[in-house]
Amino acid sequence: MAHIELERVCKTFRVTRKQKGLAGAVKGLFRPDRREVHAVRDVSFAIEPGELVGFIGPNGAGKSTTIKMLSGILYPTSGRVTVVGLSPQKQRRAVVQRIGAVFGQRSQLNWDLRLGESYELFKRIYRIADDDFERSLAELCEVLGIGDLLDTPVRQMSLGQRMRGELAGAMLHEPDILFLDEPTMGMDIEVKAAIRAFIRDINQRRRTTVLLTTHDLDDVEELCERLIIINQGRIIEDGPLAALVDSITPHRYLIVECDPGTGEPLAGFAHAHAEVLERRDSVVRIRFARSQVSASALISELSARYPVRDVSVQEPDIEDVIRTVYGRDVGG
Ligand SMILES: Nc1ncnc2c1ncn2[C@@H]1O[C@H](COP(=O)(O)OP(=O)(O)OP(=O)(O)O)[C@@H](O)[C@H]1O
Ligand SMILES: [Mg+2]
């Protein structure tokens, strides 16, 4: 059974636009300027237990709206949402026990309590047994490095300390699924690294299914094997990161440095699946079709014919790939 399932899910917000001035306000009373925002349109995907999936898309694409429907905060306008086989809307209590959620912009911790007291509250809310709580907390404190913060009032914690506190809080009851909406937003390099280590740890050690929203492509590159990309409310890509990169940029680059003073580098080089892009001094940049010829085959071919001193392979930039995907016309 899939852990997370969406079938043809739509979410439409009805918003009333404020009209200018007193006249506008009066007019608005009788003829309000209503508008529909199609935040999520016909979205379907399924995530299996233990997957770690990156859910990405530009601002306003519908990521947070989707995660809110999955965690039962919002109702879909149409379609079916299932989490661990249950409806987050109709079986909210049961689903809440099985999921954890962290929203980058909103705190779940009680700002008037010390961090440890906040966790005691979660223990009661989720009815966590004493020894389970102790074990879970100790484990999370170690991975997130927050053991020293338990006596600190949440209000006094820095942004990075609080985010680590939020993550531990969301995992205390050992949920099967964790929804993370921009957990690394605004964090410094060290906190980002700690958050990534934590995500990797719970996914590998506890086999927690993770749906991660982020604008940080290092998060994606370091953590996610699968990517779901949403744009203007529609899913535009869903699959392994490597396959996406390949389909968008089937080319790789080879930088070949020849021995200087041996004439034009790679003179007369011709290949069915590779071409010279530029020659500068003794360095040549070659573009090749990865599916047609491997880098190693090309390198041995070149070294057999030319005085090659050094070779490096250039991978495409994930950022360029994602930009290309976002930029594609999604229509409708
Ligand atoms: N409560 C709401 N009422 C009206 N419109 C909303 C509401 N929540 C979201 N929207 C609209 O729905 C669309 C999707 O918003 P959503 O927050 O899901 O985007 P997102 O992908 O999370 O973007 P970001 O990367 O900026 O967080 C946007 O056009 C947004 O303005
Ligand atoms: Mg969002």
* Partners of 103 in the β-ladder: 106, 181
pLDDT in tens, 230-269: 999 999 999 998 888 888 888 899 999 999 988 899 999 9
**Rounded Cα gap, residues 234 and 328, in angstroms:** 12
| Confidence class for position 330, pLDDT limits 50, 70, 90 | low
Percent of the chain with pLDDT over 70: 99
Q: What is the pLDDT of residue 244?
A: 86
Q: What is the pLDDT of residue 130?
A: 97
Residue of 55, 59, 63, 65 best suited for mutating to test ligand 1, as the one with most atoms within 8 Å of CB:
65
- Between the CA atoms of 88, 90, 94 and 95, what dihedral angle is there, to the nearest 10 degrees? 0
Atom of ligand 1 nearest to the CA of 57: 21
Closest ligand relative to 232 C-alpha: 1
**Domain 4-246 sits in CATH 3.50.50.60:** no
What is the pLDDT, as a whole number, of residue 332? Answer: 46
Q: Whose CA is nearest to atom 29 of ligand 1?
A: 60
Q: Give the mean pLDDT of 66-79.
A: 96
Q: Where in the chain is the domain with CATH 3.30.70?
A: 250-315
Sheet holding 251-258, edge to edge: 274-280, 283-289, 251-258, 308-314
Domain with CATH 3.40.50.300 in the chain: 4-246
The per-residue pLDDT of the chain, averaged, comes to 93
Q: What is the pLDDT of residues 99-153, one digit of tens each?
A: 999 998 888 999 999 999 999 999 999 999 999 999 999 999 999 999 999 999 9
Domain 250-315, what architecture?
2-Layer Sandwich (3.30)
Mean pLDDT of 198-219: 95
- Tell me which residue has its CA closest to atom 19 in ligand 1: 60
The end-to-end CA distance of the chain, in Å, is 32
| Residues at CB less than 6 angstroms from ligand 1 | 13, 15, 37, 39, 57, 59-65
- CA 33 to centroid of ligand 1, rounded, Å: 19
Query: Over 50: is that where the pLDDT of 193 sits?
Result: yes
pLDDT tens across 18-51, in order? 778 888 788 777 777 788 999 999 999 999 999 9
Kindly give the distance from the C-alpha atom of residue 66 to the centroid of ligand 1, in angstroms, as a whole number: 10
- Residue 59 CA: which ligand is closest? 1
